[in-house]
Amino acid sequence: MSDASLTRRDFFRRAGLTGLTAAASPLGIFADDAKGAVADGTPEQIHLTYGDNAAGSVFVSWASAAQAVNPRIIVEPSSGAETTVHAIQRTYTDGMNGQTVFTYHAKLTGLKAASAVHYAVTADNDSNSEKPFTASFQTAPQGRAAFRWTSYGDLATPVPSYPLGSLQSQYAVEAVEKFAPLFHLLNGDLCYANYHPTAQPPIWAAFGSNVQTSAAHRPWMPCPGNHEIEFCNGSQGFNSYLARYSLPGNGTSYPGRWYSFQVGSALFVSLSADDVAYQDAGPLVEGPDALHPAPSTGNAPIEAGTSFYIHGYSAGEQTLWLEKTLSAASQNDEIDWIIVQMHQDALSSAENGNGSDAGIRKSWLPIFDRYGVDLVLCGHDHDYERSWPVRGCNHDVGYELATGATVDTWQPKPVVTEVPSDGEFDTRLGTIHLILGGGGTSFPSTPYGTDETDGLPRAKVITKPNRPVPGKVTGTFSRAEADAREDAIWSARRDPETGFGIAVFDLDPGDTGGKTSITIRYYHAPGANQAPTPNYELFETVVLAKDR
């Protein structure tokens, strides 16, 4: 198809700006495979992320079954001329099954803030070139403005035969569209491909096809979790993740692992918590046999018992970047709110999950305190939990599970333990942590720790890192489990009914001399623990407010 024919505005008119091709179907890729369709450069798994300036820069990213020829997008801003933006190709060969994955990234710059942008995605070998994929999105506002975002983690795929797959994953994506946020935060453990190492690319494709129904219309901003770590896929195992996402730069030796972006009066900071968390639940060869990569990869068998542990991989570079970023934000009069996204939890009382991680508490919570972080959004444990605002910590108040001896868990200290009389929490006094791990996995972990003597919340805590296994090969570690307990004096609200839900955040910038606020509404999906359901109901509403 010629370039001239590709610039026709009827691309957008014919599709009504919302038309999704067959590639948008969460299960479309499997139907094509079953029919034996010829692989081509047809765009699939289309998703948006912010560039370095959320108000004026957006990445459009996608994949194709085979190498695309002249991959590009046609852009029609709300005002101005229609333009063609050519994409760059990014590939990797999966270190386990040997499949080469082709991804494409087109960066849109110079966009007008708070405006609609319409686009089409195509290539010379696009089988849908007569009616290519089209969609639209809204750019972020510039300066103080009201906006909405949503968040959850631990999504998985809607394919039950894949690890932790459940139809709830599809319903969770539909929930994002129901609430129509400006953007969505995806708090790690995207698709769980490392649970099925010989089929990692197809699992990623199922995930990408599912989220496309939302992520092609609004940025989905991810952070890596422990299940993004894959054998033979890079020094931290993140090659699958890094190939698929273009994200704001961080100016460090580790692009794509962590980043920040500003929308209106809020700074969002996304972190790679595997770097500091003690418990790293990366891939593990359970055995009894070795794991054998495809011969074409040239990779040696991976011995039974081998695990992939990346704690400390940045040698402190991420923590230095975090301090520098938050320090600058605390001195910026245009920033009223600081929201952190990461996968693992510093405050979690899940009994069936992982619990709280003292590695994060020691490395990052003092920095959050120092620079006034308002909200921390996590996943990892597949449930919902909200903390009271916390600031500082209590030492030597936990006890070892094995011996009962006193142990330092760095217990976060709540600054209030009841809802203020005006119903609003002032986060200048302390940081609120939310566990939002109920995206769509098939194994929620709603049971929580409770002290049997007084019925109060109790948490298990991981205070030690993973340990090398004596006599085993280099790189073999025993996974750290919770070794201590503490009273969860910081726990304010938990959802014992279901592990599935979505958090909706509405920021009101307020007026000069008045208050600015964030209203949090958490919607859960009753009954989803037993069977997938599209029904999400309001569970609780929380208001954060402070002087502007």
pLDDT > 80? residue 10: no
Cβ atoms 242, 235 nearer than 8 A = no
**SS3 annotation, 270-305:** ECCHHHCCCCCCCCECCCCCCECCCHHHCCCCECCC
pLDDT > 50? residue 3: no
Q: Which residues of 53-71 are buried (b: 16+ CB within 10 A; e: fewer)?
A: bbbbbbbbbbbbbebbebb
Per-residue pLDDT tens over the stretch 239-262 = 999 999 999 999 999 999 999 999
End-to-end CA distance of the chain: 54
Between residues 1 and 45, the one the model is more confident about: 45
What's the rounded Cα separation, in Å, for the pair 135 and 118? 6
Domains of the chain from N-terminus onward:
4-138 (2.60.40.380), 143-188+258-278+295-547 (3.60.21)
Query: Encoding tokens for residue 325?
Result: 């970023």
Cβ atoms 457, 349 nearer than 8 A = yes
If you search the block for the tokens 């809802």, which residue do you land on? 419
Q: Classify burial at 437, counting beta carbons within 10 Å of its beta carbon; exposed 0-12, middle 13-18, buried 19 or more.
A: buried
pLDDT > 60? residue 191: yes
Please state, for a pLDDT cut of 90, what percent of the chain lies above it. 80
pLDDT score for 19: 29
pLDDT > 50? residue 34: no
Q: To the nearest whole number, what is the mean pLDDT of the chain?
A: 90
For residue 39, name the pLDDT band (cuts at 50, 70, 90): low
pLDDT > 80? residue 393: yes
pLDDT score for 444: 84
If you search the block for the tokens 């600058």, which residue do you land on? 328
Q: What are phi and psi of 129, to 5 degrees?
A: -60, -25
What's the rounded Cα separation, in Å, for the pair 134 and 121? 7
pLDDT score for 176: 98
Residue 210 has what DSSP assignment? H
Say which residues have a Cβ less than 8 Å from residue 270's Cβ, sequence separation at least 6.
185, 221, 222, 223, 247, 258, 259, 260, 340, 341, 342
Rounded average pLDDT over 373-387: 97
What's the rounded Cα separation, in Å, for the pair 200 and 191? 9
User: What 3-state class would DSSP assign to 394?
Assistant: strand
For residue 446, name the pLDDT band (cuts at 50, 70, 90): confident
Say which residues have a Cβ less than 8 Å from residue 142's Cβ, sequence separation at least 6.
55, 56, 113, 114, 264
User: What 3-state class would DSSP assign to 174?
Assistant: helix
Number of H helices, E strands in the chain: 9, 31
What's the rounded Cα separation, in Å, for the pair 12 and 498? 41
pLDDT score for 78: 65
For residue 283, name the pLDDT band (cuts at 50, 70, 90): confident
Cβ atoms 418, 489 nearer than 8 A = no
Most trustworthy range by pLDDT among 323-327, 352-356, 465-469, 528-532? 323-327
Amino acid at 382: H
Cβ atoms 248, 260 nearer than 8 A = yes
Neighbours of 289 (CB within 10 A): 10
Per-residue pLDDT tens over the stretch 519-544 = 999 999 999 999 999 999 999 999 99
Cβ atoms 23, 62 nearer than 8 A = no
Listed range (265-269, 351-355, 384-388, 521-525) with the worst mean pLDDT:
351-355
What's the rounded Cα separation, in Å, for the pair 470 and 539? 48
Nearest to 358 by CA among 467, 448, 483, 487: 483
Strand partners for 407: 398
Between residues 19 and 215, the one the model is more confident about: 215
Half-sphere CA count of 417, side-chain side, radius 13 A: 9
Residue 486 has what DSSP assignment? E
Please state, for a pLDDT cut of 70, what percent of the chain lies above it. 91
Listed range (156-160, 366-370, 400-404, 474-478) with the worst mean pLDDT:
474-478
pLDDT > 90? residue 161: yes
What's the rounded Cα separation, in Å, for the pair 476 and 473? 6
Q: Which H/E stretch holds residue 547? A: strand 537-547
Rounded average pLDDT over 204-209: 98
Pinpoint the alpha helices (H) of 315-357.
Answer: 317-330
Max Cα-Cα span within the chain: 75
Neighbours of 291 (CB within 10 A): 20
Rounded average pLDDT over 493-500: 95
